[in-house]
Amino acid sequence: MLGILVSGRGSNLEAVLGAGIGVALVISNRPAVRALEVASEHGVPWMVMRRAGSGGAVARDTAIGEALTDAGVELAVLAGYDQMLGPAYFEAFRGRTLNIHPSLLPAHGGPGMMGLAVHRAVLAAGDAESGATIHEVTAELDGGPILAQSRVPVLAGDDVDTLAARVLIEEHRLLVATLQRLLASGGERAPAGDPC
């Protein structure tokens, strides 16, 4: 069973559900985000678990891990989830956790590298290409083993918005393809690189 953690618009969640991949539970750290509407439209149970009101990050992370376990989730995906998960999460949830990141890790990962900040960093560095990476979540931010990557050229005249839009298309494709492969293989690790 698959669980997805979200913080915003839920476009990766929408891509996964649109591909017919079953999701047992969606958890958001923010109320009233579009991702929760997406979950509702597809009849997927969802919960909001914020640090505030839950006793702090440790209590929240424990609650997230327990909720995933209780829902029968074996594979969790951080799909635009903008919070770090601490040791309490990994103690409470013994399944596998993956993240999708909008760059070719290890480039442009780590603290502060979320959303448009990643694409700004790619453009500022003058990189010829960017892309998306799916990796295992570990205690090291954006440092877990890479499962799959997909490359996107940086075009002349690109700005943050145009690059972000092209990378997002590849995020959707790569996430769906990787999840389909992992679920079909019983969760075995996909080789690094593009799984398609």
Summarize pLDDT for 3-42 with one digit per residue, the tens: 999 999 999 999 999 999 999 999 999 999 999 999 999 9
**3-class SS at 6?**
strand
Summarize pLDDT for 95-138 with one digit per residue, the tens: 999 999 999 999 999 999 999 999 999 999 999 999 999 999 99
Burial label for 192, CB within 10 Å (0-12, 13-18, 19+), is middle
**Domain at 67, CATH number:** 3.40.50.170
- Is residue 195 included in any domain, yes or no? no
- Among 94, 129, 156, the domain-final residue is 94
Q: How confident is the model at residue 185 (pLDDT cuts 50, 70, 90)?
A: confident
- Average confidence (pLDDT) over 129-156: 96
For the cut 90, the answer to whether the pLDDT of residue 157 exceeds it is yes
pLDDT at 132: 98
- Spatial separation of the C-alpha atoms in residues 26 and 8, rounded to whole Å: 12
pLDDT at 52: 77
- Among 94, 127, 148, the domain-final residue is 94
Summarize pLDDT for 39-98 with one digit per residue, the tens: 999 999 999 998 777 788 999 999 999 999 999 999 999 999 999 999 999 999 999 999
Contacts of 57 (CB under 8 A, 6+ apart): 51, 83, 86, 88
Whether 4 and 90 map to the same domain: the answer is yes
pLDDT at 195: 41
Q: Which residues are catalytic?
A: 101
Number of domains the chain is built from: 2
- Is residue 47 included in any domain, yes or no? yes
- Spatial separation of the C-alpha atoms in residues 160 and 120, rounded to whole Å: 6
Beta strands, E only, the chain: 2-6, 25-28, 46-48, 75-78, 96-101, 129-136, 146-153
Per the structure, the complete domain to which residue 69 belongs is given by: 1-94
pLDDT at 82: 93
Whether 74 and 133 map to the same domain: the answer is no
Whether 42 and 17 map to the same domain: the answer is yes
Q: How confident is the model at residue 196 (pLDDT cuts 50, 70, 90)?
A: very low
pLDDT at 92: 97
pLDDT at 187: 60
